[in-house]
Amino acid sequence: MTTAVLAKLLAMFFTVALGWVAGRQGWLGQLETRAEAAEPKQTAPTSEADPARVLGNVAFFIFVPALLFRTTARLDLAHMPWRTLAAFFVPVLAILFVVYLWQRRQAARLGAAAPAVRAITCTFGNSVQVGIPFAAALFGEAGLAIHIALVSLHALVLLTVLTLLVEMDLARDPARHAQAPALLRTLGTTARNTIVHPVVLPVLAGLAWNLTGLGLHPVVDESLATLATAVVPVCLVLIGVTLAAYGVRGQWRGALGICLVKLLLLPATVLALAHFAFGLTGLPLAVLVVMAALPAGSNSLIFAQRYGTLQAETTAAIVLSTVLFAVTASGWLAVLKLVAP
């Protein structure tokens, strides 16, 4: 573990702790009670004044769309390392769908959005706050360039796919549409909610603007960049506030299962497919495996907050995976010395 990455991890924990103190002291308003949060489906109604809900909405409807639009509008599509990107996203999406389909068996008990929430927590890594300094320290400028290319599509691909899945599940949910014509209602609701969505719409708008070749006006670009920089600190504070509201009692079993997938199964799958199916070796392979081995990202909690499902488990998984990353990262680096010297 490098000094730079250790410093980033400690800074993350400090910011999360600040959010926890703010939640416990009521600086942001009245939190849900522990009893409400512990209901079986973890979907207890929350008021609009609930600080966790407000922070999640601010991130999801303002900061994340600004980040996604700016990223897609500025992508250099002609020079992207598409083969390397495919070697990462194919196995990641494979694990995503495996987790999602496996969790569909429990959707009736946990809620229609639960499979997608667990799938994103198992696959969405902390690619910026932990990933960037880690890649820079380990791989230098050449490796960081590959990592940045992965980061540029990370949220776009995973959030878009999972938004489509969760909206389809919600549209089919009998509790919501018991009297609706199944097929037409499902297709119409899914199409509308997937496109007019704070994740997908900025992506589509950004890609459309990118194709015009006009670029972003400096004022617009600076405004979007300012909003985008708020994503990480707001998400970390949100984790702390959610910890104060929900706690982690009774969540460790589910969180540990997610950590096993995120920290062990996912990087192992990326290593196997990227090396044997795509023929990657050396630096590109090492960057992809480390990217896959990162702890769960805070965007998972924003996603869980958006759909009011499994917020406590997601929070526990983010915290636990970040702590365990200090051990598992060292193990993957040892493996890479043998496979990708």
Residue 198 domain-assigned?
A: no
Q: What pLDDT, on the 0 to 100 scale, is given for residue 100? A: 94
* Confidence band, pLDDT 50/70/90 cuts, at residue 107: low
Residue 200 domain-assigned?
A: no
Q: What pLDDT, on the 0 to 100 scale, is given for residue 35? A: 44
Q: What pLDDT, on the 0 to 100 scale, is given for residue 47? A: 46
Average pLDDT on 78-90 reads 90
What is the tens place of the pLDDT at every residue in 292-318? 999 998 888 888 888 888 888 998 898
Coil vs helix vs strand at 231:
helix
* CA 333 to centroid of chain Cα atoms: 23
Residue 33 domain-assigned?
A: no
Residue 172 domain-assigned?
A: no
* 268: containing domain: 3-17+47-159+206-339
Residue 64 domain-assigned?
A: yes
Residue 201 domain-assigned?
A: no
Cβ neighbour number for residue 273 with a 10 Å cutoff: 19
Residue 322 domain-assigned?
A: yes
Which residues does 87 contact at the CB level (< 8 Å), separation at least 6?
Answer: 270, 273, 274, 277, 278, 280, 284, 288
Residue 228 domain-assigned?
A: yes
Percent of the chain exceeding pLDDT 70 equals: 81
How many domains does the chain contain in total?
1
| Average per-residue pLDDT for the chain | 81
Nearest CA among 38, 42, 54 for reference residue 237: 54
| CA angle, residues 56, 315, 133, in degrees to nearest 5 | 90
Q: Which of 6-20, 280-294, 318-332 has the highest mean pLDDT?
A: 280-294
| CA distances in angstroms from 87 to 140, 262, 285, 325, listed in the order given | 21, 17, 9, 23
- Burial class of residue 256, CB neighbours in 10 A (0-12, 13-18, 19+): middle
Read off the CATH number of the domain in which 151 is found. Answer: 1.20.1530
42 pLDDT higher than 70: no
Average pLDDT on 34-55 reads 54
Terminal Cα-to-Cα distance of the chain (whole angstroms):
18
Q: What pLDDT, on the 0 to 100 scale, is given for residue 280? A: 92
Residue 274 contacts residue 82 (beta carbons within 8 Å) = no
36 pLDDT higher than 70: no
What is the tens place of the pLDDT at every residue in 216-244? 999 999 999 899 888 778 877 877 887 77
DSSP result, 167-229: HHHHHH-TTT-TTS-HHHHHHHHHHHHHHSSTTHHHHHHHHHHHHHT----HHHHHHHHHHHT
Quote the CA–CA distance of 224 and 271 in Å, as a whole number: 35
Helix segments in the chain, DSSP class H:
3-25, 34-37, 51-58, 64-74, 82-103, 107-110, 114-123, 131-172, 182-195, 200-212, 218-228, 231-246, 252-260, 266-272, 282-292, 299-307, 311-339
* Confidence band, pLDDT 50/70/90 cuts, at residue 261: very high
Q: What pLDDT, on the 0 to 100 scale, is given for residue 187? A: 54
33 pLDDT higher than 60: no
What is the tens place of the pLDDT at every residue in 151-207? 878 888 898 888 888 888 887 766 655 444 454 555 555 556 556 667 678 878 888
Residue 235 contacts residue 301 (beta carbons within 8 Å) = yes
